[in-house]
């Protein structure tokens, strides 16, 4: 699939305005689809379990297999994008995601649905692995902050609308339509993207297939180990998974020592700005994972609120992120990411501390304004930090940087969710307060690391 018919040379500083608008439409449509699919699948699990005659414990694999496929392939696909062009990986990923959505809609059993979801996760990895790299090449350098801000806006909006959209579809149709709705949007984005996405620089080295397998295995074992530890799996299994992750990771580093563009981008981590920005990203998404897992249990089990009320309480976070992300993006074109990110994480830490110290019987307003503060801090941090990660890497290593953006998000969210589960396991209903306080600590740690960026180059 050739997405470069309209250009014969790589774009060095963004696309012309008219073509940029169409390219952005293709990129953000696909991004919204992949973000919506996470929320949609979660809402659909009970209906899928009933229709396919399976148990809740088994149907959760509809979500797990999608996430595992993404974790395993994001960094290899990001590396592939540097070799064949980010636009090709993106478009092939979009095609696979769309076809797999059709397969999900036509699934007749849990095994067939799991296969389709695995393929859909692989397609989503193709989209997410090079998403921010493409944004870097679509927008001119003077507008990178605006581009990354719009990127964050799309994700926040999709997460905000996802549960409501899924509930609305399920109220009038069966669960397969939740996946079928992707098809027309995916085809439209594919056609637009084939004509408008830019060429990107291509590396001359070959793709390291054994390195890709080592990367996939080590990341999967690491994520599985974190999840197993949080959910009370035996120590032997947890240790085996984490030790396996370390062993395969060490083999990967040994194999790719001296490689011009290692799949696990050690060359980029030698840059202090890049390393600090990735560390702060992991901290921020760990906060999000802690909050988004613990708060629904707190609202429903401790405060005895309904699911509808819980949905309302969770909404301000994403809504304010959607408002703040473009504002922070524009500011990041004029002010250093270390300053903006540090202020954002300071606000997020304060918001999490305020949630952890809610009164025993809080009113709606007590909850909503605290959630809004968290969303303000998270949104103010996210875009400048994404820009810092991408622009601290050379243009030829945009794929590696883009893959790390997605990997940091998944790692942080997984770590946060696992720690929240551990808090509940240790403290019962009080675990929500523990998780929120821990989130405040993670945000404060990220705040310190963000401000440290002001002292390094």
Q: Can you tell me the mean pLDDT for 362-391?
A: 90
Q: How far apart are CA 91 and CA 403, in angstroms?
A: 16
Is 259 or 438 the better-scoring residue by pLDDT? 438
pLDDT tens-digit readout, 219-258: 888 888 877 776 667 888 888 989 999 999 899 888 888 7
**pLDDT above 80 for 159:** no
Are 313 and 299 in contact, with CB atoms under 8 Å apart? yes
- Transcribe 210-264 into DSSP letters: HHHHHHHHHHHHHHHHHHHHHTT--HHHHHHHHHHHHHHHHHHHHHTTT-SS-SS
SS3 category, 135? helix
Report the candidate in 311, 277, 284, 279 with the shortest Cα–Cα distance to residue 295.
311
Q: Can you tell me the mean pLDDT for 78-90?
A: 89
Neighbours of 380 (CB within 10 A): 27
What local confidence, expressed as pLDDT, does residue 436 receive? 92
pTM across the whole model: 0.80
- Percent of the chain at pLDDT > 70 equals 95
């Amino acid at each position: 699939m050739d997405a470069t018919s309209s250009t014969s040379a790589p774009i060095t500083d963004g696309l012309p305005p008219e073509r940029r608008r169409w390219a952005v439409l293709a990129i953000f449509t696909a991004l919204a689809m992949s973000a919506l699919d996470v929320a949609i699948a979660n809402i659909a699990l009970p209906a899928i379990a009933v229709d396919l005659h399976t148990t809740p414990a088994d149907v959760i694999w509809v979500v797990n297999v999608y996430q595992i496929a993404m974790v395993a392939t994001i960094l290899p696909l990001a590396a592939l994008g540097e070799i064949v062009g980010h636009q090709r990986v993106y478009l092939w990923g979009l095609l696979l995601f769309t076809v797999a959505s059709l397969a999900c809609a036509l699934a007749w059993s849990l095994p067939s649905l799991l296969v389709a979801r695995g393929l859909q996760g692989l397609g989503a990895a193709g989209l997410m692995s090079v998403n921010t790299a493409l944004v870097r090449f679509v927008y001119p350098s003077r507008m990178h902050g605006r581009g990354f801000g719009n990127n964050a806006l799309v994700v926040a909006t999709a997460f905000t609308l996802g549960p409501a959209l899924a509930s609305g579809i399920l109220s009038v149709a069966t669960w397969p339509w939740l996946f079928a709705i992707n098809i027309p949007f995916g085809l439209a984005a594919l056609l637009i993207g084939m004509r408008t996405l830019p060429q990107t620089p291509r590396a001359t080295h070959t793709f390291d297939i054994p390195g890709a397998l080592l990367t996939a295995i080590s990341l999967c074992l690491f994520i599985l180990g974190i999840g197993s530890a949080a959910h009370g799996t035996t120590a032997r299994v947890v240790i085996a998974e984490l030790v396996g992750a370390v062993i395969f990771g060490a083999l990967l580093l040994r194999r790719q020592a001296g490689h011009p563009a290692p799949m696990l981008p050690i060359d980029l981590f030698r840059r202090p700005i890049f390393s600090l920005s990735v560390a702060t990203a992991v901290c921020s998404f760990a906060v999000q994972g802690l909050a988004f897992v613990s708060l629904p249990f707190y609202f429903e089990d401790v405060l005895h609120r309904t699911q509808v009320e819980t949905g309302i309480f969770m909404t301000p976070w994403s809504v304010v992120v959607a408002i703040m992300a473009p504002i922070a993006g524009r500011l990041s074109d004029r002010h250093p990411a270390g300053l903006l990110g540090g202020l954002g994480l300071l606000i997020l830490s304060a918001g999490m501390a305020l949630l952890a110290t809610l009164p025993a019987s809080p009113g709606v307003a007590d909850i909503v304004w605290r959630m809004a503060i968290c969303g303000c801090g998270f949104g103010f941090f996210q875009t400048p930090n994404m820009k810092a990660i991408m622009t601290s890497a050379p243009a030829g290593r945009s794929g590696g940087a883009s893959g790390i953006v997605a990997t940091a998000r998944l790692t942080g969210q997984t770590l946060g969710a696992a720690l929240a589960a551990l808090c509940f396991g240790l403290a019962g209903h009080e675990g929500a307060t523990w998780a929120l306080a821990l989130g405040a600590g993670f945000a404060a740690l990220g705040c310190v690391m963000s401000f440290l960026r002001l002292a390094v180059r």
